[in-house]
Structure 1
């Protein structure tokens, strides 16, 4: 198998964004914003990196990063950029103002100039600008563009990441610039992998191996080429090679699960590179895929038609995992959206690594993984526990997940999703529990749903027991709560007395008093069941500990731990 010639590889179609969207993106990074002059209403089609004296051919419609240009050189580059039809130029500044010569050149050339402070590295600036190109300010794209994917992989693997197309051109990258080796820096500045390293890879048969399947290949350190140890995986669509993902080892060893995570990232990247090559605008298809996946989850569209578009058998079974980040109350909407977008990217990589054709969808403030080719519950719980551990570390929130169960066919996914949503509500009562399953929580959900039905039907009551709860409220006694815990505890006086922090004789007196006031027959199972439902209905708002969501969920949690 030979390398794909440069001239036969379709060029990646650029995204577009207004200059003011780029300025807003950089403002978020700088907590202030770049110093600007010139027209800010143009539309950027690409980013071009250039040094003083370098020809700006191909910079029409682009934002030019004037790397290494000092004041006089920067002014000359602004003039040259205007002459070829560039939209904007980014230059390095010292202080808070653009040099007068640069401002004058911008005015005459009719291009916008962004002054970037010394604290913002060029690679970070380019990454943020490309992120603005991939996701304009009025579009919510939860971490699905290649730069966001690269950033997710860098975070999870603890490495420095590059995504290359089939012609070895760098199309996205992420990770600490301080940890990048000389090969990485040359690849970014030159927009392609240096030829000596490519020749080495050919001799080692690396490309032949990564194009044969999903093998993750380790390339040893090459000090003479300025290259640290790397992992690489191919991005393939069937037998067609689309590109590669590289992870360079930085100051820390790569994460133990880096190869597995790379396989997930390659599956996601394949869809995006196919869009680049064949669809013209990757964002259009990605947004459509996200919307259609949401429709599959919520039942808004026909499952068979959606499955055909997404490349999934409509008769296939699928597991559904529901995740809630448990955002804190003081989080702003923007911060919550950003955190959810980051979590969706992380979850997508984990899901794709675990199951081919996995989908991750945001709905109802929660995230859902749809995993075709079902597995047994125990491996799913372990996978969910690993995911929650990662998300808790990255988001700093008490993330929880529920293995919602299996949809026997894709049309059943909305009902399984609803089960997961309701189970997450219940699991929220025990924040110390990371992962629950619908099978474990089903009894508590049944009781909760029953109480909701009873609440809507006032005629269905156990009047004598309801009167007991009213008596407690007016007289400040604890007969109703003591009776409920006694029934829950199968009459274990010692354990229930300890829970209530009273003497066992005190509990016995309360139970005898409750029976006398209500006429309850503790030997009758229907009396006991009716009393438990009525007491839960009356006490759930006054005492959350008596509500079955707390009691049953805690029991389920203990059995999972």
Structure 2
């Protein structure tokens, strides 16, 4: 039986790599065997060493000019490799023909691309399915420490979340250990909190007493790197720990620090790649099926919603960029806590989050989540934050529609309504869409009836525009319009009669009334 903390994924393909990295980072020039070819490790070419046999490898042609890469392409194909990556201008040179003859894919990156960055990005994408996970490494470390020290071991992060635990047969565990493993979280208690404060203040392993009769003492040490606390190691002490247990635990902490730092770097890279992929999903330039797989959304056919978050302060503020980045962190933290693996991205000062939903119950939580984020972010950033949620769409391929809605909803929000789903402000969103469609249409802007009414008022000091709009807003009810204007109904009747005669309004025609009202709304008069 497989260990529950290890998982296996199919090897990534060339298509997966290109989808993750985007056309601007790495592009395919020719792929004679198609893009479904499985890929493995990413190798840097070394002119001083023989080319290894490496089936499925991707070879970076470091130090080889594109026009001189044909021999290397043939050699890579003979070594069973899946692709060769050259820098710049490959379309114009011989490697294309060489790759076609050899049956190997040829990829290219820009002339100014740094090979170490290309290697990092490709390695991350190619290793996603086959490399040992950070979780697997930490579990292996916990087993190794438990065997060396002589007690059941757990690896925790600074928030007391259990990242890994040992499974060495025969080692005793107590109630706290069992509860922690079940929930992957250390049980909360004042006594626990005090032990953590003591541990994180210490520079060496500590022996800590049992918290109660149901539990055993502990040997623990903080895991640090460069003065930063990354987590801690805890060993159940049943009285039979090794004589050099403290030294072994200190060595284990050094290894744990390296693994936790590596896991953090991998997580940050994954977030960067996920954000770039989400940006292309929202732009409609990514393959929906491939993007869904990479974003952890299965086949990409489950309903999703796009939420847009933005600070409500002035966009010209000197710290606007820093505020937007902090908002991105806050939104990402809350979304990952709610949905696990997730994608958020910052685009032009707006933070977009992709919210999965399975059934109406899942969709109903989106607004509550957005309200919670807006409240938390407002307190943390000390600026008001707004959140607009687009329509729930049936799959990732329609995410652009939800993003468009979310952008429009943001424009409808204010202090009284800082969060809204598109259905909450459908009327305002529809008017904004009409405004975009109308654009510079002469008949609805400079030559429209509403413009003529405004011009007449300006020239003669009348209030026909205000009166007509109040009457239309009141559903053509004279008494309601008079009340809104704080005038006598006869005054309304007189003004409307004069508007008919002086400006030529036909207020008896329902089509004329509709067009006049739309012109006024699109010009920004009144409120929708």
| TM-score, L = length of structure 1 | 0.49
Retained in 2: the 8 A contact 1:348–1:360?
yes
The aligned residue for residue 452 of structure 2 is 467
Q: How does 1:54-65 map to 2 (within 5 A)?
A: none
Q: Secondary structure at the match of 1:211?
A: helix
The aligned residue for residue 415 of structure 1 is 401
Alpha-carbon distance in 2 for matches of 1:416, 1:228 = 49
Alpha-carbon distance in 1 for matches of 2:347, 2:476 = 43
Q: How does 1:399-548 map to 2 (within 5 A)?
A: 399-427=385-413, 430-459=414-443, 464-537=449-522, 539-540=523-524, 543=525, 546=526
Pairwise CA distance, 1:464: 4.7
**Match 1:221 to one of 191, 196, 201:** 191
Q: Secondary structure at the match of 2:191?
A: coil
Asked whether 1:211 is paired with 2:211, we answer no
Q: Secondary structure at the match of 1:361?
A: strand
Pairwise CA distance, 1:438: 0.7
Pairwise CA distance, 1:386: 1.8
Q: Secondary structure at the match of 1:367?
A: strand
Alpha-carbon distance in 2 for matches of 1:340, 1:283 = 18
Q: Secondary structure at the match of 2:340?
A: coil
Larger Rg: 2
> Could you give the per-residue CA deviations for residues 23-43 of structure 1, whole angstroms, max 9, x where no partner exists?
xxxxxxxxxxxxxxxxxxxxx
Alpha-carbon distance in 1 for matches of 2:386, 2:406 = 11
Q: Secondary structure at the match of 1:484?
A: helix
Pairwise CA distance, 1:416: 0.9
Q: Secondary structure at the match of 2:410?
A: helix
> Could you give the per-residue CA deviations for residues 40-65 of structure 1, whole angstroms, max 9, x where no partner exists?
xxxxxxxxxxxxxxxxxxxxxxxxxx
Retained in 1: the 8 A contact 2:310–2:324?
no
Alpha-carbon distance in 2 for matches of 1:288, 1:481 = 53
Pairwise CA distance, 1:284: 3.5
Alpha-carbon distance in 2 for matches of 1:301, 1:274 = 32
Pairwise CA distance, 1:221: 0.9
Q: Secondary structure at the match of 1:406?
A: coil
Q: Secondary structure at the match of 2:286?
A: coil
Pairwise CA distance, 1:356: 3.4
Pairwise CA distance, 1:482: 1.8
Alpha-carbon distance in 2 for matches of 1:359, 1:366 = 14
Alpha-carbon distance in 2 for matches of 1:245, 1:358 = 23
The aligned residue for residue 161 of structure 1 is none
The aligned residue for residue 301 of structure 1 is 286
**Match 1:379 to one of 365, 370, 387:** 365
Pairwise CA distance, 1:273: 7.4
The aligned residue for residue 362 of structure 1 is 346
Distance 1:211 1:441, change over 3 A: same
Pairwise CA distance, 1:348: 1.8
The aligned residue for residue 329 of structure 2 is 345
Retained in 2: the 8 A contact 1:209–1:217?
yes
* Number of residue pairs the alignment of both structures matches: 315
Retained in 2: the 8 A contact 1:221–1:229?
no
Pairwise CA distance, 1:479: 0.7
Pairwise CA distance, 1:487: 0.2
Q: How does 1:229-248 map to 2 (within 5 A)?
A: none
The aligned residue for residue 558 of structure 1 is none
Alpha-carbon distance in 1 for matches of 2:420, 2:381 = 20
| TM-score, L = length of structure 2 | 0.51
Asked whether 1:323 is paired with 2:296, we answer no
Asked whether 1:396 is paired with 2:382, we answer yes
Gaps of 5+ in 2: 1-140, 146-152, 161-171, 201-228, 233-257
Alpha-carbon distance in 2 for matches of 1:223, 1:364 = 41
> Could you give the per-residue CA deviations for residues 313-372 of structure 1, whole angstroms, max 9, x where no partner exists?
22222122211111335521xx22222222222212222233333322212311122111
Distance 1:308 1:400, change over 3 A: same
Pairwise CA distance, 1:529: 0.5
Q: Secondary structure at the match of 1:522?
A: coil
> Could you give the per-residue CA deviations for residues 401-441 of structure 1, whole angstroms, max 9, x where no partner exists?
122121211111122111111221232xx332111121122
The aligned residue for residue 150 of structure 1 is none
Retained in 2: the 8 A contact 1:316–1:408?
yes
Retained in 1: the 8 A contact 2:308–2:388?
yes
Alpha-carbon distance in 2 for matches of 1:224, 1:399 = 36
Alpha-carbon distance in 1 for matches of 2:195, 2:444 = 80
Retained in 1: the 8 A contact 2:442–2:448?
no
Distance 1:204 1:298, change over 3 A: farther
Q: How does 1:151-190 map to 2 (within 5 A)?
A: none
Pairwise CA distance, 1:290: 2.4
Asked whether 1:312 is paired with 2:297, we answer yes
Alpha-carbon distance in 2 for matches of 1:393, 1:214 = 29
Retained in 1: the 8 A contact 2:156–2:231?
no
Distance 1:305 1:362, change over 3 A: same
Q: Secondary structure at the match of 1:407?
A: coil
Alpha-carbon distance in 2 for matches of 1:229, 1:329 = 44
Retained in 2: the 8 A contact 1:218–1:229?
no
Retained in 2: the 8 A contact 1:319–1:407?
yes
Retained in 1: the 8 A contact 2:456–2:503?
no
